[in-house]
Amino acid sequence: MTRTLTALGLVLVAAPALAQEGGRNQYISDEISVTLRDAPRNDAAVVGAVNSGDRVTVLQTLGSQSFAQVRDSEGRTGWITARFLSAEPAAKTRLKDLQSQLTQAQAQIKSLDAELQSAKSQLEKAKPAFELAGDNERLRQSLAAAEQQSQAVISRFDEERARRRTLVTGASLVGGGVVVGLLLPWLGAGRKRRRSDF
């Protein structure tokens, strides 16, 4: 009777714990260990074991559903069930490789982001120089336009001065001709009087 009560008590204590375990998700472990044997038989002597993800060299095979002779990374040679061999690395090995690649990619992204931020910072520092260069170009264009206008004004001034010289020379000649024209008759009349005095 005492044993029955003790067993019943244990069941009552363990029942809530078992009930809690029943609702939790768990996974089958992918850690597989394959026995390495000295002959292609399940009852052959054990040489050692190879684990999932280990790299082996296949020396010979008796078919995909039979045995294969392999050499492991430690140099041991033995027979394993051929169905455990795969041309692809184990998922956990590929996962490690992918995680390594991801870590490298994240580091590269971080490095590129730092370079981008540095380039943006340098661009911000250089922005006033770019704006100044734009202002300088506009000033150069304005100066070139002003020089063209100045050359046009100088050219018109030279033309006007030449025209005025021509006018002044012509006016001088006309004025001189008028003076000579006025003086000649008077000079001629003065000579006639002198001659008549004789």
The enclosing domain of 72 has a CATH number of: 2.30.30.40
| Claim: this prediction has a pTM higher than 0.95 | no
Q: Could you give the percent of the chain with pLDDT greater than 70?
A: 75
Please tell me the predicted confidence (pLDDT) of residue 44. 92
Residue-by-residue DSSP string for 129-167? HHHHHHHHHHHHHHHHHHHHHHHHHHHHHHHHHHHHHHH
- Is the predicted pLDDT of residue 194 greater than 80, yes or no? no
| Tens-digit pLDDT profile for residues 50-70 | 888 888 999 999 988 899 999
Which residues constitute the domain of residue 37?
33-87
174/192: higher pLDDT: 174
19/190: higher pLDDT: 190
Q: What is the mean pLDDT of residues 111-130?
A: 83
Please tell me the predicted confidence (pLDDT) of residue 47. 92
63 falls within a domain: yes
- Mean of the per-residue pLDDT values of the chain: 78
Residue with the two structure tokens 């000295």: 38
43: phi then psi, degrees, rounded to nearest 5:
-100, 10
| Tens-digit pLDDT profile for residues 153-191 | 888 888 888 888 888 888 888 877 777 777 777 676 666
How many domains in the chain? 1
| Tens-digit pLDDT profile for residues 123-145 | 888 777 777 777 788 888 888 88
192 falls within a domain: no
171 falls within a domain: no
Which residue(s) pair with 70 in the sheet? 58, 78
Contacts of 31 (CB under 8 A, 6+ apart): 51, 52
72 falls within a domain: yes
Report which of 65, 108, 107 is spatially closest to residue 85, judged by C-alpha positions: 65
61 falls within a domain: yes
